[in-house]
Amino acid sequence: MKLLRYGPKGQEKPGLLDKEGRVRALSSFVPDISGDVLTPAGLARLREINVDELPVVPGVAQQDLRLGPCVGRVGKFICIGLNYADHAAESNMAVPAEPVVFNKWTSAIVGPNDDVEIPRGSTRTDWEVELGVVIGEGGRYISEADAMRHVAGYCVVNDVSEREVQLERGGGQWDKGKGCDTFGPLGPWLVTADEIPDPQKLDIWLEVDGRRFQNGNTRTMIFGIAKLVSHLSQFMSLQPGDVISTGTPPGVGLGQKPPLYLVAGQTMRLGISGLGEQQQRTVQA
């Protein structure tokens, strides 16, 4: 299933994308695409629905029908840094011995085609396409062998970053540099895990104004999804609807020679094979 949320900001309704690319309304079955719906039991109930009997929502998704973040009421937005060796190298940082963990505030979350704001005074706002992992079954102290059972599905994430704050202010403030409003586009849809046979073999890419900067594959992650889920669960309870952003391949603005950063009026386009595409316009906050 491809689960999504559509409608005006703050008024999104639950839906799914059918095989013809039409949005179907799910409001008569669930109040939102959020944690309680993303549990194994919740997804099993959705799979019993006859999609052909669901109302078709007028409009075309990502054209004249706005899509919101594909997960509602996210509890935790957990991010992994430097999870591709070649990205660590372009950032002039050592390959980590264990996952580098930081957070985005949930107020950073926006829809896949919503504007991204350049923070006031920022001259080093950067892009990062990432694979998002959405938790379905919660737990603590999850074994690596059992970790994939806890995954509800996957989505595209743009881990927008302000590099000066992240790397220089106060000796480095990753949470502050990563958590500004609009710095976490999610979607366009959450693709359930059963539709992605191997999430470690997905092409992942990003363009700015039509120029391809990032062009990688999730197979080159340092720490795979099972390792990340298990690792994080040693330090916190993972809960249904939590989102894990798993790191970015090389090609970010910081790694260009000379570095190249976003300014207002640009267009980012990004995607992951099987998970859809995002497109955002940059605006000044």
* pLDDT single digits (tens) 211-255: 999 999 999 999 999 999 999 999 999 999 999 999 999 999 999
Query: What is the total count of domains within the chain?
Result: 1
24 within some domain:
no
Give the contacts of 168 (CB within 8 A, at least 6 positions apart): none
Structure tokens at 162: 């302000």
Task: Write the CATH number for 96.
Answer: 3.90.850.10
* Separation between Cα atoms, residue 228 and residue 238, nearest integer Å: 11
133 within some domain:
yes
Q: By mean pLDDT, which of 34-48, 75-89, 177-191, 228-242 is the weakest?
A: 75-89
272 within some domain:
yes
The CA-CA-CA angle for residues 205, 39, 141, to 5°, reads 85
Give the pLDDT confidence score for residue 281 in this predicted structure.
Answer: 98
Residue ranges making up the domain that contains 234: 74-284
19 within some domain:
no
pLDDT at 55 over 80: yes
Give the pLDDT confidence score for residue 231 in this predicted structure.
Answer: 98
Residues 44/53, Cβ–Cβ less than 8 Å: no
Give the pLDDT confidence score for residue 205 in this predicted structure.
Answer: 98
- Residue 33 — very low, low, confident or very high, per pLDDT cuts 50/70/90? very high
Give the pLDDT confidence score for residue 238 in this predicted structure.
Answer: 98
Q: By mean pLDDT, which of 49-53, 169-173, 231-235, 272-276 is the weakest?
A: 169-173
Give the contacts of 284 (CB within 8 A, at least 6 positions apart): 117, 118, 120, 264
17 within some domain:
no
* pTM of the predicted model as reported, rounded to 2 decimal places: 0.97
Helix (H, G, I), strand (E, B) or coil at 285: coil
* pLDDT single digits (tens) 94-120: 889 999 999 999 999 999 999 999 999
- Residue 12 — very low, low, confident or very high, per pLDDT cuts 50/70/90? very high
Beta strands in 77-170 (DSSP E): 77-81, 100-103, 109-110, 116-118, 125-126, 129-135, 151-158, 161-162
Give the pLDDT confidence score for residue 244 in this predicted structure.
Answer: 98
* pLDDT single digits (tens) 110-160: 999 999 999 999 999 999 999 999 999 999 999 999 999 999 999 999 999
* pLDDT single digits (tens) 174-193: 899 999 999 999 999 999 99
pLDDT at 83 over 80: yes
3 within some domain:
no
Between these two residues, 98 and 171, which has the higher pLDDT value? 98
Give the pLDDT confidence score for residue 90 in this predicted structure.
Answer: 82
54 within some domain:
no
32 within some domain:
no
